[in-house]
Structure 1
């Protein structure tokens, strides 16, 4: 029986982000993917500004920005007649507080490839072709069973295994919402002739979207999206693609179908994101319509929220820290689900505003003001970038696995795992820090505490790691029974 600290099931963007975050903190992590090969499609192609900030911290934003591009303008056609033009997302100049202001397009397979390369650089490789068939949890850990007969013992298990999540089903956690069997869409990556790559083309039929072709950066592919009518065949044959193109365009021909999938509209969310030592993240916890580019981005930020908390508890922080994962991410996921659903409905109705993406989809405004970890003015909000008086950038100082304390010069050294930055006038203005106050920025870039040093002392035990313990080392107890669900409360977990 192998032994590790965390098992991650699913090597999509969510699972890879979590594995990277854990590995850079020195946490032993194993990531299993039942597929024999990496995902080859473009499905989640939009990267929001907040996700780019996460990727900046994880060390992959430069590789992504070298290939990704802002969404091109959209031309809308009815047959051969262009009837409208839309800007999907205004291209904005970077500002001091938002260095990554634009929605970028990059095929999902490329985002995942970059994350895998980063993970490999940290000494961890995805275990492809390794299917998890079940697991059991007890007070001290989780035993994970694989199809080949191997078992792996871990302190925690994270299911990032998609909308059909074995982990969620095994735990018996409800997946509330709707699946619209009659609302089907063919999605694929294609090579095509007869259209340029400078614009996105959308064709409408009877007032509703019938076909969209997005030029994918870093490739010669287009993402092909076409809703199916009730009487259309559900088969993903070449002829089905040709039929969908031919009925609304002229002069456009498909040369090759590189990847294809049949999508049924699912709008669902798990009733809980945790049961004892097992967590859900990404599509395993919430599935979205493709509109608004929210699904992949929300999953990445699930992982970013969970990673530092798992690492801290494994290094000796109070187990109750893990309760805050569900408390923070479940309401955020519910709100984002509402945004993507509304955009999907507008697109289906052919509404012009359905093509536009504004601040509501960028995820920069998502916050945790009601979290148990939020105390004081401005707590729970994303920390903006700030240029300090000496020319340094705050984001450069935040980058890494630590928390950051903004405090007056001469403040005593903080506990291990917390970097101190002297408050200057730019920081004071940006955060509203009054004389004598301190402000703590969590490892995931959100303000956790704002108040007096005396109150900080009572706040820190919920956040900090045990003194003198290195990330990845083994405390006597990684977790106690807590309100997130007692270990073993789901009993013996097997596929349903």
Structure 2
């Protein structure tokens, strides 16, 4: 069986993480192939929220307009605390440094459809019904055995990325450890129509002694999507994070009654139990095998991190694989010269994943644990403090800071090998490794928003008004230079494809910029025209 090699990156799994990674790698020069063992595209959505930072990193891929057309960008929430209902809006938050100052409610299936279409527009089709049997890294390339209805196929390529969920085949093949534990609680999902719930509009959250119950007007086969937590009913054979057996209608009705909702289930379209765990891979890379999304980390649904974290992993890794694939070319891609670039994925994203695990574990304890303290907090303390909640919600900056924290707008990579300070420090600018905030700027015409100017693939070098431009000889084809006329000074910053500052200096440090571009594989090659 001859091995084929006409691919740089094999992506295993076509959920939001795999689709985003394929797009990001493709747009940065890699030949991509994406496979998915499920034969059909549809599955019930587990994720329903896109965070501001996730929309930011997706914007250069040209998909945000299509996503926002399908999303509720002005969601309201009714928070039921005992007999009191507190209304809250999650739109128009006090986040001036992002183009997306809101939470967006959108079904995971819609996200996957938009990303799949974007790939198709680039000539990349998702190969459904194709699974990875095994993968072996021989230090020079990866040998992967695939299986589909057409039979077995062996391919050889520089990189394989596992976006194949908690039971990742790629993680097993890489021999990467997986540490964590199952939760004593499980999630119940259902699509249902209700009668007697008149007056409910927007998302509804009910806090009770047994846990939280959410109703989202985002059902895929009925009007409402129910998400509730309860003590796990057991079943060790169930796959963590994946919908399992159906839940009897009587059990669902009891969950509604326990939450204090005076509504009857008129029609149950489907339901499922979802066992949960909190786990983290011991590393996100071994040689030429990489992990992203649920294959690398698994959380509770608290704060809606799963899909968002996976997409942000994918955007971080995708451009690095694209640059590495083109650095040496062909099968030699990712040689020693690319090691710092490829290693940076683990050193940047694994600490961020660990912090998210702590966040989600803490919040889920408060949301779902049936222990004495969290049960008392939900059933007794929360209703007593309900009168103060509107006062807190009125403090828009306080709410915005909470959203900023959970949406990863504050994540930085200051300790990464890719975060470099030039010979003279540029004062008053984001530090290397920081996310570049959005702002109103001038590049010689009417004022524009900075992130809009950077909404395309590649590296962007931002010059201050009086800075000497770098010579073309040091700039690769994926480097764009912009001069900010409203920023006095002689410095510059180089922005990575994922929106983080990679290099900055207070003067035109050509040698420093050239060295940094070489480090990430974006410098001009010796044969490039000057």
State the TM-score, normalized to the length of structure 1: 0.85
Decide which of 387, 407, 412 is 1:362's aligned counterpart: 407
| Unaligned 5+ runs, structure 1 | 429-434, 472-496
Count residues in correspondence: 457
| Aligned partners of 1:242 and 1:254 also within 8 Å | no
Inter-CA distance 217–445: structure 2 relative to 1 (3 Å threshold): farther
Question: Are 2:510 and 1:444 equivalent residues in the alignment?
Answer: no
Inter-CA distance 131–193: structure 2 relative to 1 (3 Å threshold): farther
Secondary structure of 2:441's counterpart equals coil
Decide which of 31, 43, 54 is 1:28's aligned counterpart: 31
Match of 1:226 in 2: 228
| Aligned partners of 1:68 and 1:217 also within 8 Å | no
Of 208-217 and 313-322, the range deviating more from structure 2: 208-217
Question: Are 2:238 and 1:257 equivalent residues in the alignment?
Answer: no
Inter-CA distance 342–87: structure 2 relative to 1 (3 Å threshold): farther
Give the CA deviation at 1:448: 0.6
Decide which of 66, 74, 81 is 1:63's aligned counterpart: 66
Decide which of 333, 338, 355 is 1:319's aligned counterpart: 338
Question: Are 2:515 and 1:458 equivalent residues in the alignment?
Answer: yes
Match of 1:494 in 2: none
Give the CA deviation at 1:218: 8.6
CA distance in 1, matches of 2:89, 2:227: 16
Give the CA deviation at 1:280: 0.3
Question: Are 2:205 and 1:198 equivalent residues in the alignment?
Answer: no
Match of 1:98 in 2: 98
- 1:179-190 correspondence to structure 2 within 5 Å: 179-180=182-183, 182-190=184-192
Match of 1:477 in 2: none
State the TM-score, normalized to the length of structure 2: 0.80
Decide which of 72, 76, 81 is 1:72's aligned counterpart: 76
Match of 1:412 in 2: 471
Give the CA deviation at 1:336: 1.4
CA distance in 2, matches of 1:142, 1:29: 14
Of 14-23 and 446-455, the range deviating more from structure 2: 446-455
Inter-CA distance 341–36: structure 2 relative to 1 (3 Å threshold): same
Give deviations 1:122-168, integer Å, cap 9, x for gaps. Answer: 11111111121111111221111123311222110000001111111
| Aligned partners of 2:54 and 2:312 also within 8 Å | yes
Decide which of 213, 218, 235 is 2:215's aligned counterpart: 213
Give deviations 1:431-458, integer Å, cap 9, x for gaps. Answer: xxxx332211111111111114143233
Inter-CA distance 184–425: structure 2 relative to 1 (3 Å threshold): same
Inter-CA distance 131–230: structure 2 relative to 1 (3 Å threshold): closer
| Unaligned 5+ runs, structure 2 | 236-243, 329-336, 369-373, 383-388, 394-398, 426-430
CA RMSD of aligned residues (A): 2.8
Inter-CA distance 86–304: structure 2 relative to 1 (3 Å threshold): same
CA distance in 2, matches of 1:230, 1:337: 20
Query: Which 4+ runs in 1 deviate beyond 4 A?
Result: 217-220, 230-235, 468-471
Give the CA deviation at 1:374: 0.8
Give the CA deviation at 1:465: 3.4
CA distance in 2, matches of 1:469, 1:40: 49
CA distance in 2, matches of 1:253, 1:218: 16
Q: Which protein, 1 or 2, shows the higher relative CO under an 8 Å CA cutoff with sep ≥ 6? A: 1
Give the CA deviation at 1:77: 6.1
Match of 2:246 in 1: 236
Match of 2:166 in 1: 163
CA distance in 2, matches of 1:129, 1:279: 22
